[in-house]
Amino acid sequence: MNADAEPLFVQVARLVEDLVVDGTLAPGERAPSTNELAAFHEINPATARKGLGLLVDAGILEKRRGLGMFVTPEAREQALKARRERYAGDYLAPVIDEAVRLGYDRATLHALIDRVAESRGMYQ
């Protein structure tokens, strides 16, 4: 967890959401508990609970009384949809803002993006 970044409960939610998106947590599987998350990341259980609550509100997790939190059948699709909606504002806007500050033109920025994408295997 990075205390200098976004609030810890948001980081918890994103971490569990990452597990759903990459398939580590499949639909119907039990998500890590509040206490497991709190102990592993050395955070307050209330912080972990608040993070899991965000995922319940988003329809990614569901509470099963006495059993814990479980991944919903539509969790991955819900998470991907929400991430796609946030993508431009969360990731592209800061890149463009910095490119403008650095004086890059559109062609230079496109070339940089292509070079980085290729180095990550995106064009293979």
Residues 87 and 99 in one domain: yes
Tokens 């806007």 belong to which residue?
Answer: 93
Alpha helical stretches, state H, 6-121:
8-21, 34-41, 45-57, 75-87, 93-102, 106-119
Is there a contact between 38 and 47 (Cβ–Cβ < 8 Å)? yes
Residues 13 and 61 in one domain: yes
Whether 102 maps to a domain, the answer reads yes
Confidence of residue 122 (pLDDT cuts 50, 70, 90): confident
Residues 42 and 98 in one domain: no
Can you say whether the dihedral through the CA atoms of 76, 81, 87, 90 is positive or negative?
A: negative
Domain around 108: 77-120
Residues 44 and 62 in one domain: yes
List, for residues 69-101, the tens digit of each pLDDT value. Answer: 999 999 999 999 999 999 999 999 999 999 999
Residues 68 and 83 in one domain: no
Residues 104 and 48 in one domain: no
Quote the DSSP letter at residue 44: -
Q: Mean pLDDT throughout 92-111? A: 96
Cα–Cα distance between 58 and 72 in angstroms, integer? 10
pLDDT for 124 equals: 65
Whether 46 maps to a domain, the answer reads yes
Residues 95 and 52 in one domain: no
Residue 2: pLDDT over 70: no
Q: Name the percent of the chain lying above pLDDT 90.
A: 92
Tell me the pairing of strands 68-71 and 61-64.
Answer: antiparallel
Residues 64 and 31 in one domain: yes
pLDDT for 1 equals: 64
Whether 1 maps to a domain, the answer reads no
CATH code (residue 102): 1.10.10.10
User: pTM for the full model?
Assistant: 0.81
Confidence of residue 123 (pLDDT cuts 50, 70, 90): confident
Whether 2 maps to a domain, the answer reads no
pLDDT for 10 equals: 96
